Structure 1
Amino acid sequence: MSVVRKGMNTFDIKILGIILMFVDHIHQMFFYAVPQWIDYFGRPVATLFFFVSVVGFSHTSNKKKYLLRLYIGSLIMVIGSALIGHLAPASGPMSNFGLANNIFRDLFLGVVLMYGVDAFQHFIKTRKILDFLKGALLLSLPILLSIPVLFAGQLPTAILIGYTTLVPNILITENTFMIYVIPLLYVFRKKRLLQILIIVLTSMIFLVTGGGSQWLMIFAAIPVYLFNGEKGNSMRGFFYAFYPIHIWILYALSCWISG
């Protein structure tokens, strides 16, 4: 008989994350009717999913397949959002709203960054310059891939749309440079208190630099502290499907109601 450890497992943290995310997206899609403070509930969400991705990458038996799933998810999100935007044209207060949600991009690039950490850790053991160069390239890749986006005004629209659809980069992620929290959490994946310190320090940076309510990500430290190291129920397909579907439904409802 297996013993259930106290605290929160990966499944529990995912469930908490999607609940808070759903509340946050209600505010996002119905911003014209829902109070601004509802947005506060969503500030820890990205950090929770960053932490879960670190746990997943650390324990998966097939890291390449994990990376591929996230990439496919990002493509489905882009194509589906474009289709929903066409089928449910925005009007009224939603007329200037752009449906750009795609956490899959953040997590995909986060996995790339964790590959970079692995390469550097391998370099420490082997002292091979190729491992060092691989690590440096992978850790800078999200930024390097954003260079064409900086010249968006000089690129044909079709090429720019195709590039941003097929090539995730730091400028089109939901959390931009905050994705570098992922490799930091991965480096200290066996030191929970240091992971919590990273979350706290990042939230303080947002607080002192005027990053709006994003400093409330500090509350993600509580589930991270309570994490008991267990996986819990999987339901992987549910979590992959829930994210895009709930966004598309809320967006379509908002367009219909506001119109």
Structure 2
Amino acid sequence: MDGLSGSRYGLSSSTLKLFACITMLIDHTGASVVLQLLNQPAIRANAARYNQILPVYTVMRQIGRLAFPIFCFLIVEGYYHTHDVRKYMGRLFVFALISEIPFDLALKPGWFYPLKQNVYFTLLIGLWTIWTMDQFRFRRMLRLVIALCGMTFARGLMTDYSFRGVFLIVVLYLFHEERLVQCFAGAAAIAWETYAPPSFILCYLYNGKRGLRLKYFFYLFYPVHLMILGLIRWLCIANIT
């Protein structure tokens, strides 16, 4: 593999995760709290105030586009480095369940919103898909069917990023052995999100090292920050109404 794998230089897994978490926090703050402000009648009636806040919201959402491709890249790397892929999938499933109410509180109309599921489900389906494909690595048509099943399941479950997220994980898995090609392919697969492809510059700099041992911090960060943002959002709604 090319890139900086095995080098003491470059970015570790924990550094990439920290960057993704920060950009995700910025994105979700915009999508929950700032958007809630923009939707208030008093703000919408004040054109000057609205036009001050709108660019902030837009930039926050654009910054947030960098997070998801990095998480997908690390799911693929995690697949190749984990000692037990079933336990890995089990952890993703547990945190997908834990995250669903915080996800709905922060980003949807209420605490229960069955029409959209959080991104942990997308990552889980993507991981299951590449693991299953790997069991049939010499049967191309069957691997294609498995990939299509994974994408169809994500779309049917209405997960965040839907089938496109699973497609990105599959692409990164298929080109895993050539980092530069993998990054270009990943950037092409996520190009429908205009501000997402630059995240693969950071992925190319991945050095294959774990970095800080903060595994459960990263698992917990998603539901905890969403719960905090959700509470702030609903406190704002309560105070306004």
Q: TM-score, normalised by structure 2?
A: 0.77
Q: What is the CA-CA distance between 1:64 and the residue it aligns to? A: 0.6
- 1:57–1:37 distance in 2 versus 1, CA, 3 Å: same
2:120 counterpart residue number: 104
List per-residue Cα deviations over 1:74-133 (Å, max 9, x = no partner): 112225556xx5xx9x9xxx8689765611101101111111330231547xxxxxxx64
Contact in 1 for aligned 2:117/2:160 (Cα 8 Å): yes
Contact in 2 for aligned 1:113/1:139 (Cα 8 Å): yes
- 1:201–1:223 distance in 2 versus 1, CA, 3 Å: same
1:175 counterpart residue number: 161
- SS of 2:136's partner is helix
- In the TM superposition, what are the counterparts of 1:31-50 in structure 2 within 5 Å? 31=35, 32-33=37-38, 34=53, 35=56, 36-50=58-72
2:134 counterpart residue number: 118
- In the TM superposition, what are the counterparts of 1:67-216 in structure 2 within 5 Å? 67-79=89-101, 85=105, 100=116, 102-123=118-139, 133=142, 135-136=143-144, 138-145=146-153, 170-178=156-164, 179-204=166-191, 206=192, 214-216=193-195
The answer as to 2:23 corresponding to 1:20 is yes
- SS of 2:195's partner is helix
- 1:95–1:225 distance in 2 versus 1, CA, 3 Å: closer
Letter in 2 for 1:115: W
2:201 counterpart residue number: 222
- 1:80–1:197 distance in 2 versus 1, CA, 3 Å: closer
Q: What is the CA-CA distance between 1:7 and the residue it aligns to? A: 0.7
Question: Structure 1: where are the runs of 5+ without partners?
Answer: 125-131, 146-167, 207-213
2:86 counterpart residue number: 64
Question: Structure 2: where are the runs of 5+ without partners?
Answer: 1-5, 39-52
- SS of 1:230's partner is coil
Q: In 2, Cα distance between the equivalents of 1:60 and 1:177?
A: 24
Q: What is the CA-CA distance between 1:249 and the residue it aligns to? A: 0.7
Contact in 2 for aligned 1:116/1:137 (Cα 8 Å): no
Segments of 4+ moved more than 6 angstroms = 96-99
CA RMSD after TM alignment = 2.7
- SS of 2:196's partner is helix
The answer as to 2:32 corresponding to 1:29 is yes
Q: In 2, Cα distance between the equivalents of 1:238 and 1:96?
A: 26
Q: What is the CA-CA distance between 1:137 and the residue it aligns to? A: 5.1
Q: In 1, Cα distance between the equivalents of 2:234 and 2:131?
A: 40
Q: What is the CA-CA distance between 1:182 and the residue it aligns to? A: 0.4
Q: What is the CA-CA distance between 1:49 and the residue it aligns to? A: 0.1
Letter in 1 for 2:98: I
Q: In 2, Cα distance between the equivalents of 1:24 and 1:81?
A: 13
Q: How many positions carry a matched residue from both structures?
A: 211
Q: In 2, Cα distance between the equivalents of 1:104 and 1:18?
A: 14
44-53 vs 136-145, which moves further:
136-145
Q: What is the CA-CA distance between 1:189 and the residue it aligns to? A: 1.3
Identity of aligned residues (%): 26
